[in-house]
Amino acid sequence: MKIQDLFNLKDKTVIVTGGGTHLGKSIATTLGELGSHVFIASRRETLCLEVASELRSNGINCEGLRCDATDEKEVEKLITQVVNKTGRLDVMVCNAGGSVTNSYLPNASIDEFIETYNINVSSTYICSQAASKVMIPQQSGSIITLGSIHGFLTGDKNLYEGMDFKRSGPPYQAAKGAIINLTRALAAELGDYNITVNCISPGQIPRPGTDLGLVERCREQIPLKRTGTVYDIKGAVALLSTQAGSWITGQNIVIDGGWSIW
């Protein structure tokens, strides 16, 4: 096959949870640019509708839907809506996640730990299982999970000292570490059905409005001497969602400018 044919999602259907902001929006844009019909979903329905409209104005076939990725019934409803409309599901991107950490050791809140684990790990498991129910009969599909460099490296709390930035702390790091190994387990479970499962672990990709002093501290520690942008993950997304990555499964692709090599 020609390389252009390998990186092609024409007539394919994809879902991106948490697809309305930051990395999720970039992922949805990438998959749409490759020719797929993209559905972005999150608890913020209005935001999803606005972003979908923006992407359509740029020539991308995109729709926005509401879904709480931690709610099994809502996820099943989402996938039923999508499959009823398109007849298939080819790529499931489990991007919904984040951190709710407001307290730290020795006075950390166990409720914050549980909620952080739920919005990251439980949502990934729920979405992967629901997607597999469609992909197994198809005997094809790609599931992409979102980890982090903090899933295999801990964070240096001194990096954030004096900065206007709420660091994520141990709950987030534990959750992202779980996602990385969950990805391997899912790949082992679903390999018999020609379904690939891979994780993307981004490094320091600041959101708009992040404390510029923190951005500079991070930049100084990155071998490539710049922090990442949402465009830096597009290549990995394209690889793992298309035929170009059809013999890649159970892997954790780190995109961090070299941060983790020190």
* Digitized pLDDT (tens) for each residue of the chain, 262 residues in all: 899 999 999 999 999 999 999 999 999 999 999 999 999 999 999 999 999 999 999 999 999 999 999 999 999 999 999 999 999 999 999 999 999 988 989 999 999 999 999 999 999 999 999 999 999 999 999 999 999 999 999 888 888 888 777 788 999 999 999 999 999 999 999 999 999 999 999 999 999 989 899 999 999 999 999 999 999 999 999 999 999 999 999 999 999 999 999 8
**pLDDT for res 164:** 74
258 is a domain residue: no
Give the domain extent around 130. 3-249
Domains: count for the chain: 1
Tokens describing residue 137: 């009969």
**pLDDT for res 89:** 98
- Rounded-to-integer distance, Cα 233 and Cα 243, Å: 18
> Beta strand 195-202 with 252-255: parallel, antiparallel or unpaired?
parallel
**pLDDT for res 90:** 98
CATH of the domain at 216: 3.40.50.720
**pLDDT for res 163:** 77
260 is a domain residue: no
The overall longest dimension of the chain from CA atoms, in Å, is 57
Tokens describing residue 23: 């990395």
**pLDDT for res 166:** 79
* Secondary structure string (H, E, C) spanning the chain: CCHHHHCCCCCCEEEEECCCCHHHHHHHHHHHHCCCEEEEEECCHHHHHHHHHHHHHCCCCEEEEECCCCCHHHHHHHHHHHHHHHCCCCEEEECCCCCCCCCCCCCCCHHHHHHHHHHHHHHHHHHHHHHHHHHHHHCCEEEEEECCHHHCCCCCHHHHCCCCCCCCCHHHHHHHHHHHHHHHHHHHHHHHHCEEEEEEEECCCCCCCCCHHHHHHHHHHCCCCCCCCHHHHHHHHHHHHCHHHCCCCCCEEEECCCHHHC
**pLDDT for res 199:** 98
235 is a domain residue: yes
In sequence order, what are the residues at sequence separation of 6 or more whose Cβ sits closer than 8 angstroms to the Cβ of residue 106? none
Q: Is the pTM of this model over 0.85?
A: yes
**pLDDT for res 139:** 97
